[in-house]
């Protein structure tokens, strides 16, 4: 079995569908000793005396699992950017703590779907540490989630260009919430983003789509499954 140690799911904006995409990706890899990890989540809700991360909650529910606190490191209550939530709650986000958690996950699992917060320039520590810094420190390729709506080309290409200039590898793109009957301008947006951004691997998830074949996701992730090994 050929597995990458991990993939970092980020997006061109907040609310594009990182968590939805992450849930699909995790569903495909978990049977091959894959994991899901959300290092930092703001906007958590208190349940039974503990802060619960909505993204982790969704991914677990989507995959018919009980909520698992071990899928996250920092749980912040304020529904604002992580750096501001941490400041308000007097919590210091420390990469060394995330790194230690990450190293333990790599020992336990063969591949990990890591979900970021917002886009690549979202600060985790004011003026000092951003999502793109976290990606570089984890040293895993990016899966970029973007839309196909009007304005998507600019958002996608700016992000792609920034990642490349920062030395971060882009594994591929997931076009999320594409119209069920794909419109001409959406097709054109996809074509421009892939060609101009020089991206070869991509997935299309349509509006209200509930399932993607495991084979399609594994192919997108470049995961090669040895059938004999899988049947042991």
Q: Are the C-beta atoms of residues 135 and 164 closer than 8 Å to each other?
A: no
What gap in Å lies between CA 123 and CA 8, rounded to an integer? Answer: 16
Catalytic residue among 2, 5, 27, 38: 38
What gap in Å lies between CA 33 and CA 15, rounded to an integer? Answer: 28
What gap in Å lies between CA 171 and CA 74, rounded to an integer? Answer: 26
The two tokens of residue 216 are: 């399609």
The two tokens of residue 96 are: 């060394």
Contacts of 151 by beta carbon, 8 Å cutoff, 6+ apart: none
Longest Cα pair distance anywhere in the chain, in angstroms?
A: 53
According to DSSP, the β-strands at 170-178 and 45-47 are unpaired
What gap in Å lies between CA 214 and CA 207, rounded to an integer? Answer: 19
> Is there a catalytic annotation at residue 38?
yes
Q: Name the burial class of residue 215, with classes exposed (0-12), middle (13-18) and buried (19+) by CB atoms within 10 angstroms of its CB.
A: exposed
What gap in Å lies between CA 11 and CA 18, rounded to an integer? Answer: 6
Q: Which residues are catalytic?
A: 38
């Amino acid at each position: 079995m050929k597995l990458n140690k991990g993939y970092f799911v980020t997006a061109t904006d907040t609310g594009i569908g990182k968590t939805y995409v992450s849930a699909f990706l995790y569903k495909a890899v978990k049977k091959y000793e894959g994991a899901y990890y959300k290092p930092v989540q703001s906007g958590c809700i208190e349940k039974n005396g503990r802060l619960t991360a909505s993204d982790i909650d969704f991914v677990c529910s989507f995959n018919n699992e009980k909520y698992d606190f071990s899928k996250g490191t920092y749980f912040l209550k304020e529904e604002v950017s992580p750096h501001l939530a941490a400041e308000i709650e007097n919590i210091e986000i420390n990469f060394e703590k995330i790194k230690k958690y990450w190293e333990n996950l790599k020992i336990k699992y063969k591949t990990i779907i890591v979900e970021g917060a917002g886009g690549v320039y979202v600060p985790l520590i004011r003026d000092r540490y951003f999502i793109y810094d976290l990606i570089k420190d984890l040293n895993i390729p990016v899966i970029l989630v973007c839309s196909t709506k009007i304005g998507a080309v600019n958002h996608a290409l700016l992000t792609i260009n920034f990642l490349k200039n920062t030395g971060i590898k882009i594994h591929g793109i997931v076009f999320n919430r594409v119209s069920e009957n794909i419109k001409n301008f959406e097709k054109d947006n996809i074509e421009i983003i892939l060609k101009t951004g020089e991206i070869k691997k991509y997935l299309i998830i349509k509006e209200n789509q509930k399932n993607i074949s495991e084979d399609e996701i594994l192919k997108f992730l470049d995961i090669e499954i040895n059938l004999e090994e899988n049947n042991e």
